[in-house]
């Protein structure tokens, strides 16, 4: 087996499928992924609003912008100076046409860029770091995210942060919470907050509940039998999902973590 090439993987995936089919949960269809992203948007906006108050001069960077979901959310939240980057030329070109007022550039966060020079008040890196499969590049990615921030700047990242289980395939690796905390501290960051992003509408990676795993097996069967039925299932569960993720402090699936740059 050859060495995994993330840029080639994502260039091919985004060329093959536009929109949420290119960046979402593979195999569950556009309709179900649409409801997953509605949950992501809701939780991201709620968490960011609890930590950030924008001034006119504030600048933000979104890393791994893909289809531009979080670039648009930063706009909705009131950020005026927005930059975005992606590992692929495909995403940068598409977003350049769709969002001409956003400063866009190509970057592999595990390699770095001259623009990561401490000029951003906030940085988002959502569902990206588990695709950095090499450990030294993972540490470099966290360090680069920290380097992009001003002192006391905020970093928003999402992923599965399990306490016990880990999982890996060619194009992703689910690292435990302790691994993240070690890399975050080494980069001069401090964790401020961690909140659930999903409970029912994503795989329960950090739960031993048979009920939750049976539920997710049912979701996958429905979506793979009919993408339309998957969308209807997502729509039915969506209101309950928002209540569950708001009421829980500890997640069973994807979470959003907030860090602050405390050391230069």
What percent of the chain lies above the pLDDT cut of 70?
88
Residue 64 has, within 13 A of its CA and on its CB side, a CA count of: 22
Least confident range from 17-26, 169-178, 220-229, 250-259: namely: 17-26
Confidence of residue 3 (pLDDT cuts 50, 70, 90): low
CA dihedral 109, 110, 111, 114 (to 10 degrees): 30
* Structure tokens belonging to residue 137: 């590049």
Residue 59: left (phi > 0), alpha (psi -120 to 50), or beta? beta
Report pTM.
0.90
Residue the block writes with tokens 């770095």:
112
- Reported as type and span, the H/E element at residue 86 is strand 81-86
Confidence of residue 9 (pLDDT cuts 50, 70, 90): low
Least confident range from 15-19, 160-164, 199-203, 229-233: namely: 15-19
Residue 82 has, within 13 A of its CA and on its CB side, a CA count of: 25
Higher pLDDT, 40 or 164: 40
List the Cα angle 51/186/120 in 5-degree steps: 40
* Axis crossing angle, helix 29-51 with helix 69-77, rounded to the nearest 10: 40
Least confident range from 48-62, 68-82, 209-223: namely: 48-62
Whole-number average pLDDT of the chain:
89
């Amino acid at each position: 087996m050859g060495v995994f090439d993330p840029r080639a993987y994502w260039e091919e995936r985004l060329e093959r499928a536009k929109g949420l089919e290119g960046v979402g949960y593979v195999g569950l269809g556009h309709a179900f992924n649409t409801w997953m992203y509605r949950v992501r948007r809701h939780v991201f906006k709620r968490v960011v609003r609890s930590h950030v108050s924008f001034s006119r001069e504030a600048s933000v960077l979104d890393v791994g912008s893909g289809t531009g979901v979080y670039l648009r959310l930063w706009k909705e939240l009131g950020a005026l100076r927005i930059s975005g980057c992606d590992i692929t030329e495909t995403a940068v070109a598409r977003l350049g046409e769709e969002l001409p007022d956003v400063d866009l550039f190509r970057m592999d966060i595990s390699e770095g860029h001259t623009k990561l020079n401490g000029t951003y008040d906030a940085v988002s890196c959502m569902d990206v770091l588990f695709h950095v499969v090499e450990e030294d590049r993972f540490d470099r990615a966290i360090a680069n995210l920290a380097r992009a921030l001003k002192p006391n700047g905020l970093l928003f990242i999402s992923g599965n942060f399990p306490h016990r289980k880990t999982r890996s395939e060619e194009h992703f690796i689910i690292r435990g919470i302790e691994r993240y905390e070690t890399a975050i501290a080494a980069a001069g960051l401090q964790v401020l907050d961690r909140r659930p992003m999903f409970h029912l509408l994503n795989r329960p990676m950090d739960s031993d509940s048979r009920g939750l795993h049976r539920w997710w097996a049912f979701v996958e069967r429905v979506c793979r039998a009919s993408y339309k039925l998957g969308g209807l299932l997502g729509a039915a569960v969506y209101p309950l999902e928002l209540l569950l993720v708001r009421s829980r402090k500890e997640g069973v699936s994807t979470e959003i973590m907030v860090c602050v740059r405390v050391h230069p």
